[in-house]
Structure 1
Amino acid sequence: MGYSVVVGEALVDLLDGRCGDEPVYRQAIGGGPLNVAVGVARLGGDSRFVGSLGDDALADRIRDFLTAAGVGISGTITVPAPTALAVATFAGAEPDFRFYGQPPSYGLLTADDLDVALVEGADVLYCGSIVLLCPATLAAARRAWRLATGVRVFDPNIRPRLLAGPDALDTVRHTTAEFAASAHLVKLSAADAEVLYPGEPVERVAVHLRELGAGTVVVTLGPDGALVAAGADPVRVPAPTIRAVDATGAGDSVMAALVADLLVDGPPTDPAGWTDRVAFALQVAGLVCESPGGAVAMPTRDAVARRFAT
């Protein structure tokens, strides 16, 4: 089994909650790509995180967390900035994030900072999420994408609150098309699809991304499961029945499960193979939704097997 490289952000989530009658914010290590890296490791894969981390105590906690989770951090750099924060409030189980920290500690990795040998040796390369809004790290991701010799996976993971300015959406749409055009796998949420292509059915969005050049497209649909576009016609895969308390990291866990299986068996040889893998990934996401937090909720394969034993 080879290893995966995840290029993206790490930050600290402040999750809205209560302690008795008092409102509190619970601290949690976060960032969509970090969640993916941790999820891959928890599922038995060799995972390496590449990104920029701040120079404060919160960044030290991120490093310690990744190391304890079995994620390699040799590709990370330290930058002179406080760790960025994502403050999450909830409407039911769905988090709404607002981001704090300028410059963002997660967006300062440059193309020259990349460990070329690490990227070239990866069996799977993940790029995506909000670091692509940061010019320096977008350049780093583009370089990693060009260097990659293995499977390339992409997740736009769009946060509308970060899209400032009249051209922001067009820029994100262009970046998504750029990476999707040479991706073996694109994973996005129905919310991402709506931001990118307002009013378009998810089936049409998935087909469009494949027409751009993506090999397989998976669109997560929350409690309705996922759409898989890998063959002639998109297929819907139902989600398992769960008791959701916090959907933070659910989409990231789907990507983590797909990456972990790519490390074990490589890409499926037919569309049905992708459908089976997405069904397992939705079980992983279901278990994540039954626990609070994102990265800390990523399960092992044994935990998934126990929860969904038939």
Structure 2
Amino acid sequence: MAEPTPADVDLLVIGECVADIVRTPGLPDRPHPGGSPANVAYGLARLGRRTALLTQLGEDLYGELIRAHLEAAGVTVLTDGQDVPTPTAIVTLDPTGSASYEFAIDWTLAPTPTPRTRHVHLGSLASVQEPGAAVARRLLREARAAGATVSYDPNVRPGLVGERAAAVAAVEHCVVLSDLVKASDEDLAFLYPGVPVRDSAARWLTLGPAVVIVTRGGDGAFALTADGEVRTDAPRTTVVDTVGAGDSFMSALLATLDTPRPSLDALTTALRTAAAAAAITVSRAGANPPTAAELAAPDGGPHG
């Protein structure tokens, strides 16, 4: 039997980059590299994982800013070759640090060769906004056929997903293709209004994933598997802003789990690690996930 072909990267992330222009009343605008999938790729690289990001970037100042940011962490940036404007988002922070978003984004991903990898992660608008979403889902199917595992985070943006029924159909298509799914309680409340969040997560588990994880902000997170349920609290921290918290959680989760079907003990450890990463991120401005050294520090590392 031939030896398996080694992976070019540990993880491939597929999805949009966005220039987050952070707007706080009384202060100058602050541009930050962002976009949920880009944040996940950045967080994975900071945690020492060989990571590639398949995305779209314009040949403009924001595109240069984002590319430099990702490559500085060690992310291999791949694009589909289309020269499209780099997406932007106006991020407005309220007095508590909570963020709201106003987007200018198109997702027109073209069919593109991808590196060999053991795991593919898809997230956010890239999974629901056409025509690029259909290409992204095709890449997931090809990755599974080649033996890779798949994770998914819908990271729903209600103002951009269009009609709810179509968004639900697109999200559930990705859930079916995934081994692990992470969503926030707000995501599930939007997709299935009036349905208890845990009930929605339990139904997703019947669609195919081995693990469904729900984050609940300051109330922690829980995970469902066929073997049972585990929970973790959110560490106490001082919140500067919530930008990138869920993405940091996702990065640490993927960096910690080595199997798509973890034991409940392993899943509990991963949830705690991911919650610690999110806590570090919200304690400082922007989507600034921890390094491996910060996450391993007894006190969670420097939060400034």
Gaps of 5+ in 1: none
Q: Which structure ranks higher in relative contact order (CA pairs < 8 Å, sequence separation ≥ 6)?
A: 1
SS of the counterpart of 2:234?
coil
Residue aligning to 1:108: 108
* Contact 1:40-1:256 within 8 A present in 2 as well: yes
Give the counterpart of 1:293 among 263, 274, 286: 286
Q: How far apart, in 2, do the equivalents of 1:187 and 1:45 lie?
A: 19
Aligned-residue offset at 1:232? 4.2
- Relative to the length of structure 2, the TM-score reads 0.90
Q: How far apart, in 2, do the equivalents of 1:283 and 1:24 lie?
A: 30
Q: How far apart, in 2, do the equivalents of 1:49 and 1:201 lie?
A: 34
Give the counterpart of 1:284 among 272, 277, 283: 277
Deviation per residue, 1:53-97 (Å, 9 max, x gap): 112121111111111110001x21343332211001123222101
List aligned pairs for 1:180-219, cutoff 5 A: 180-219=175-214
Residue aligning to 1:303: 294
The AA in structure 1 aligned to 2:290 is P
Residue aligning to 1:90: 93
* Contact 2:125-2:161 within 8 A present in 1 as well: no
Q: Is residue 177 of structure 1 aligned with residue 175 of structure 2?
A: no
* Contact 1:55-1:79 within 8 A present in 2 as well: no
Give the counterpart of 1:242 among 214, 234, 237: 237
SS of the counterpart of 2:213?
strand
* Contact 2:16-2:56 within 8 A present in 1 as well: yes
Q: How far apart, in 2, do the equivalents of 1:100 and 1:183 lie?
A: 28
Q: How far apart, in 1, do the equivalents of 2:140 and 2:176 lie?
A: 11
* Contact 1:36-1:255 within 8 A present in 2 as well: yes
Residue aligning to 1:51: 55
Identity rate, percent: 32
Q: How far apart, in 1, do the equivalents of 2:298 and 2:79 lie?
A: 34
* Contact 2:230-2:264 within 8 A present in 1 as well: no
Q: How far apart, in 2, do the equivalents of 1:269 and 1:299 lie?
A: 24
Aligned residues: 290
Residue aligning to 1:76: 79
Aligned-residue offset at 1:268? 5.1
* Contact 1:283-1:308 within 8 A present in 2 as well: no
Q: How far apart, in 1, do the equivalents of 2:181 and 2:300 lie?
A: 29
Deviates more, 1:266-275 or 1:279-288: 266-275
SS of the counterpart of 1:247?
coil
The AA in structure 1 aligned to 2:259 is G
Q: How far apart, in 2, do the equivalents of 1:307 and 1:93 lie?
A: 26
The AA in structure 1 aligned to 2:289 is M
Gaps of 5+ in 2: 1-6
Change (3 A) 1:154 1:218: same
Q: How far apart, in 2, do the equivalents of 1:131 and 1:229 lie?
A: 25
Higher helix share: 1
Aligned-residue offset at 1:150? 1.3
The AA in structure 1 aligned to 2:276 is Q
Residue aligning to 2:10: 3
* Contact 1:230-1:274 within 8 A present in 2 as well: no
Q: How far apart, in 2, do the equivalents of 1:300 and 1:204 lie?
A: 35
Residue aligning to 2:267: 274
SS of the counterpart of 1:235?
strand
The AA in structure 1 aligned to 2:277 is V
Give the counterpart of 1:123 among 113, 118, 130: 118
Q: Is residue 13 of structure 1 aligned with residue 20 of structure 2?
A: yes
